[in-house]
Amino acid sequence: MQFEWTEEQDAFRHKIRDFLHANLPDDWETFSEHGPASPALTAFAREFCVKLADAGILFPHWPVEMGGEGLGPWEQQILAEEMWIAGEPRGGQYMNVNWIGPTLEKYGTDEQKKRYLEPITKGQSLWCQGFSEPDAGSDLASLRTRAELKDGNYVINGQKIWTSYAGLADTCFLLTRTSDDRKRGITIILVPMDTPGITVRQIPSLIGEGDIHEVFFDDVTVPESARFGDEGQAWEIVGYSLRNERLGIPRFTLARAALDRAVQMLKAAGDFDGDYVKIEAARCAALCEAAGTANYAVVQRRVDGLAIGAESSSARYATVMAERAVCEFVIEFLPEALAGASPYLKMHHQRGIVAGVAAGSAEIQLNIIASEVLELPREPR
């Protein structure tokens, strides 16, 4: 075991930091308080990602055949960490380079690759992910949005909810039902968001403007060629990209950075004294580092080419624990941070509180750990 970054990795991290330093505006910290899906940040990201592309740090972890530099999972991790700590200046485009691009490459038709990959590599496209429905959250496989093949077109009817970025996205990576065979009846369709029949409603939320939406599909008609993979292949494809492409958002890094910021502010106010606040701060730091180790163990598996299973649930849950502790610490000791005293800590709070819900809830991760790591007998259903 070896816990230090290599020189190249350090250099890579510094290259990203220098780039951010040179290219983020002076008022970035206040600005980034707009959620990653806000109109302001989305517009910013459309320019910023072009610059990242020009500097070669939009998708350096992609294989050379795809135009990347073929850097490995550690570099992908470093890139994700630096961007997330900075408040994610890529907005929703992080999804593109994280998993949408590589998934398109693996499963897309030539026409789909041609149409969608180039805008991604130019930093010009925004995707949304239409998975969850009002009655299909944790139980995603019960989704009901129908796609019916009629005369060479899919006609889509149904509703999605919690869809991040939907308000401004160009394309939706949509899960639809094409047959009643639970998981094997689900099909992916790539739907341009300006197709007639789509209605997006923003949901007012605790986590900032523009983040979560309801999306209604009313006789939305797209050509059969918009289908991604085969009918019924969605579960396999999504499973593949979750296991192989997608890195969890490195939330533990921002949690740690937020904690450090909070301690700085307490020190400046003369209130980082007494045992209690120090013990609590240290507890938070340990939880952040614990989450880091769990996340890195997953990255190592990817480096080693091993399948990723319940390890990622462990990493997710450790991250939820860290986020929870830091969010609570900040409010208990620096309640002013959320009322205007620290845009950075408020930004962290709004991103931190979703850690246990977005992308599959914490309790579902616990069920996975119980079944797959501990191999406990399953709860009867």
Partner 1 sequence: MQLSLNEDQTQVLDFIDSLAKPYATVPMHDVSLALESAELDEALVENGFLDVMAVEELGPVMAALVIEKLARLPFAVEAAASAMVRPLIDPELPRPLCLMEEGKARKPLRFLRPGATVVVVGPSGVKSFITTEDMIAPAQEDTLYGYPVAFLTSQPDSMTSHDVDVAEITRAWRVAMAAEAAGLLGAALASTVTYVSERKQFGRPLATFQGMRHRLAEDQVMTNTAYWMAMRAAGTGSQADAAMALHHAQEAAKRVCYDYHQFLGGMGMTLEHPLHLWTYRLKLLTAELGGRGAQGLAAAEALWG
Ligand X SMILES: Cc1cc2nc3c(=O)[nH]c(=O)nc-3n(C[C@H](O)[C@H](O)[C@H](O)COP(=O)(O)OP(=O)(O)OC[C@H]3O[C@@H](n4cnc5c(N)ncnc54)[C@H](O)[C@@H]3O)c2cc1C
Residues lying near partner 1 in the complex (CB under 8 A): 132, 135, 137-139, 142, 161-162, 203-208, 212, 269, 274, 276-277, 280, 324, 328, 331-333, 335-336, 338-341, 346, 349, 353-354, 356-358, 361-363, 366-367, 379, 381
**Residue 164 binding: pick among partner 1, ligand X, none (C-beta 5-8 Å cut-off by kind):** ligand X
Count of residues engaged in binding ligand X, rule: CB under 6 A = 22
| CA 368 to each of CA 107, 258, 311: distance values in angstroms, whole numbers, following the listed order | 27, 29, 10
Question: Looking at 155, 297, 358, 370, which residue binds ligand X (CB under 6 A)?
Answer: 358
Residue 346's binding partner out of ligand X, partner 1, none, with CB under 5 to 8 Å set by partner kind: partner 1
Nearer to partner 1, 221 or 361 (CB): 361
Please tell me the distance from the alpha carbon of residue 194 to that of residue 174, in angstroms, as a whole number: 14
Region near ligand X per CB under 6 A, out of 143-151, 224-232, 275-283, 360-368? 360-368
Contact flag: residue 364 with ligand X (CB under 6 A): yes
Rounded Cα gap, residues 67 and 64, in angstroms: 5
User: What SS3 class is residue 21?
Assistant: helix
Q: Which stretch binds ligand X (CB under 6 A): 19-27, 45-53, 192-200, 355-363?
A: 355-363
Which residues 10-39 are close enough to bind ligand X by CB under 6 A? none
Give me 68's structure tokens.
Answer: 């990347």
42, 91 Cβ separation under 8 angstroms: yes
Query: Which stretch, 41-49, 116-124, 132-140, 150-158, contacts ligand X (CB under 6 A)?
Result: 132-140
Q: Which amino acid is at 106?
A: K
Burial of 305 from C-beta contacts in 10 A (0-12 / 13-18 / 19+): exposed
Task: Encode 18-38: b = buried (16+ Cβ within 10 Å), e = exposed.
Answer: ebbeeebeeebeebbbbbbbb
Residues that bind ligand X (CB under 6 A): 128-132, 137-138, 162-164, 207, 211-212, 354, 357-361, 363-364, 367
